[in-house]
Amino acid sequence: MNKGEIIISVKDLKKNYGSFEAVKGISFDVYEGEIFGLLGPNGAGKSTTLEIIETLREKSSGQVMVNGFNLDKEKEKIKQIIGVQLQTSGFYPGLNLVELLVLFAGLYNQTIQPMEFLKMVNLEDKAKNKFKEMSGGQKQRFSIATTLINKPKIIFLDEPTTGLDPQARRNLWDLIKNIRQNGTTVILTTHYMDEAEQLCDRIAIMDEGKIIQLDSPDKMIDDLVATGFERPKQVKAANLEDVFIHLTGKDIRED
């Protein structure tokens, strides 16, 4: 993949909650058109960092530029070019998927073809269903569709595959790859290393509010191997997840 221009630039970003330093001066750039992963244990500061860039949380200090807009002065401009996954509690229980899409489009001042969005995430069959009537994977696909309503340049996905079964995760990987293929930059967090390896062009590993490593997954693995690291046990040609996928199928399943 060709590296694009820098679309997000974060410099010495800090966030304190009272006397607690959740983010301790991190700096990183995200390139246009890449899938950028933020990894790290619970409490590392990933969501805090994303929400600051998404304009949803105030930073304590540091500089953030998004698509050339300064977070301090041009929040509204940033909001117009990003897509953020809403908390699912925002999905009014009485409305079906088409009605929800129309409602969200209205909030963004957009007119959309709801069925096109549902088709994109393979949920045309569920057009008349309510959000609560869908499976975990379907809910995630729908909430990703809602991030695309304002045709954003960047979307933010905070743990989009947590709690999903292996097929549903793979469906979501395909969807995220498609979204990137269509030119949208993707920033995501995940606790699944196979997912980060599959999806992300580059990842930043955070721990206790700091970025401790930033590179492509491939480079990080090569660097570790170069230190003489070896896996303690010879790995078999397949693992249990391969068995599961092989037995239950990938595409045929309506997750």
- Between helix 136-147 and helix 166-181 the angle, nearest 10°, is 10
47 interacts with ligand ADP by CB under 6 A: yes
Cβ 236 to ligand ADP, closest distance in Å? 32
Is residue 85 part of the contact set for Mg ion (CB under 5 A)?
Answer: no
Ramachandran category for residue 7: left, alpha or beta (phi over 0 → left; psi -120 to 50 → alpha): alpha
List CB contacts of 51: < 8 A, sequence separation 6 or more: 57
Residue 97 or 206: the one with the smaller Cβ distance to ligand ADP is 206
Cα separation, 251 vs 225, in Å, equals: 35
Q: What is the radius of gyration, based on Cα positions, of the chain?
A: 19
Q: In sequence order, what are the beta bridge partners of 202?
A: 36
The nearer residue to ligand ADP, 9 or 16, going by C-beta atoms, is: 16
| Residue 247 exposure: Cα atoms within 13 Å on the Cβ side | 8
CB closer to ligand ADP out of 37 and 40: 40
Please tell me the count of residues contacting ligand ADP according to CB under 6 A: 10
Q: Kindly indicate which of the ranges 38-46, 74-82, 119-127, 180-188 contains the residues binding Mg ion, using the contact rule CB under 5 A.
A: 38-46
Query: Residue with structure tokens 């959740």?
Result: 22
Residue 42 binds ligand ADP (CB under 6 A)? yes
Quick check: 49 binds Mg ion (CB under 5 A)? no
Interface with Mg ion (CB under 5 A), residue from 37, 44, 47, 142: 47
Q: Output the CA–CA distances (angstroms, integers) from residue 14 to 26, 53, 58, 72, 243, in the order listed.
A: 7, 12, 10, 14, 44
**190 belongs to the binding site for ligand ADP (CB under 6 A):** no
Out of Mg ion, ligand ADP, none, what residue 181 binds, judged by CB under 5 to 8 A for its kind, is none
Interaction of residue 146 with Mg ion, rule CB under 5 A: no
The binder of ligand ADP chosen from 48, 55, 184, 190 (CB under 6 A): 48
- Bridge partners (DSSP) listed for residue 84: 156
Residues that bind ligand ADP (CB under 6 A): 17, 22, 40, 42-48
Residues that bind Mg ion (CB under 5 A): 46-47
